[in-house]
A and B are shown apart, each in its own frame.
Chain A
């Protein structure tokens, strides 16, 4: 199955002085967020990627054009460097299609812009490319197939560093909760679509606005609930958290590192 990755958003400036990087290129551990997400899909056997580019397209293109498998993998060097033998490889089997979908285009229109590259695909994955999860992808796919609806998204409970407040009619506080204690669920950005999704996305529309409202009205939008790990990269604190996971050696989303991990 093909995987559409939305990589064109304006991105994130973690530091005033630093060059503004497209969000998918922000490093988590030693590799871009984008790489982690692709590696995740690849682990489950989905290695045909469509990158919807926009802001910072050059940075993303160059990263893959100049990709050095040696930097990412173990290898044997012999004959004084004339011979390099990779012991493992990352992206050797990946097919990556790079599509410029415009600088300020919304997600809905970026998706529309790659429709022709999805010809013949009954279903495909799509991803915001701003979050990581340990969700078992085959389980979401199975859930999607069983219900045979138009769209499915990963439904998660975000952990937020706010204090959420409930009040009575007089404005007196009845409850105040930190972060995840509050029971609400959000769209985590891991989608599966049936090709009919394109019938729901009209010109100019943002995916989650009118198209998703239409899906909701027709009972065609599936929420795949996941209570495990999910984190998105919005703030420096988020980045620190993800980096820390990486430093420990086996981050929750690194499903490819699990011993005997089932596909």
Chain B
């Protein structure tokens, strides 16, 4: 299945850190978050990527044009460097289509801009390219296919430091961390059927009018997931992801075999 990755946004929430860098190029460990996301999809067998570029498209293109498999992988050097033999490789069997979708286009319009590259695809996946998860992708895909709906997204619980309050006549009756509240947000990781383009009008933002239309026709599925989901919104979150990576406890690295049980499954 093809994977559309939205890589063109400005990354406002983490801007000061990422000045001069498009958000998907912000590194977790020593690789861009975009790489981690692509690796995740590739692990599940989806290696045909369409990158919707915009802000600082050149940085993303250059990264892949100058991609050095040796830096990412183990290899054998012999004959003083004349011979290099990779022991494994990352992106050898990936196919990546780079499409400039404009500097300030919305996600909806970026998706529309790559429609021609999705010709003949019954369904495809799409991603904000700013979040990581250990979601079992195949189970999610199966669930989507079985539902027969047009669109699905990953619903996750936001990590907010607020305390949610319930009141009666100005007296607090309950106060609890937001994390313990039954609050779900759109975590990206979309699966979309080609019919989505019929719902997407000119100028529409994907999660606004099109999603409202999908809701009205009962075609929008939320796949609730209580496992790991982390998003690169603030510098603090980047640090948390970095830490997990450095401790070799990055849950989204599903391609690494670890003697650990995956975290909680689909709610």
Is there an interface contact between B163 and A187, defined as CB atoms closer than 8 Å? yes
Name the CB-closest residue of B to A164.
B185
Is there an interface contact between A187 and B165, defined as CB atoms closer than 8 Å? yes
Interface of B is mostly: mixed
A57 CB to nearest B CB, Å = 21
- Residues in chain B near residue A176, CB distance under 8 A: 186, 207, 211-212, 215, 220
Does B222 make an interface contact (CB < 8 A)? yes
- Residues in chain A near residue B16, CB distance under 8 A: 14-15, 236, 239
Q: Please, how many angstroms separate the alpha-carbon atoms of A160 and B178 in the complex?
A: 13
Name the CB-closest residue of B to A162.
B185
From A12, A158, A237, give the contact of B15 (CB < 8 A).
A237
- Stretch binding the partner chain, chosen from A84-92, A112-120, A220-228: A220-228
- The verdict on A236 contacting B15 (CB below 8 Å), with A173-B215, A173-B221 known, is yes
Give the interface residue-count category, chain B: 35 or more
Name the CB-closest residue of A to B236.
A12
Is there an interface contact between B234 and A223, defined as CB atoms closer than 8 Å? no
A134 CB to nearest B CB, Å = 19
User: How many inter-chain contacts with C-beta < 8 Å in the A-B complex?
Assistant: 131
Give the interface residue-count category, chain A: 35 or more
B141 CB to nearest A CB, Å = 14
A138 CB to nearest B CB, Å = 17
Does B98 make an interface contact (CB < 8 A)? no
Does B142 make an interface contact (CB < 8 A)? no
| Residues of chain B at the chain A interface (Cβ within 8 Å) | 12-17, 19, 147, 149, 155, 158, 160-165, 167, 170-175, 177-178, 181, 183-186, 207-208, 211-212, 214-215, 218, 220-224, 233-236, 239
* 21 pairs from A and B in contact (CB 8 Å cutoff): A13-B235, A15-B17, A143-B170, A147-B170, A167-B184, A171-B223, A172-B149, A172-B218, A175-B215, A176-B215, A176-B220, A186-B178, A208-B177, A216-B174, A221-B172, A223-B167, A224-B170, A225-B167, A236-B13, A236-B235, A239-B16
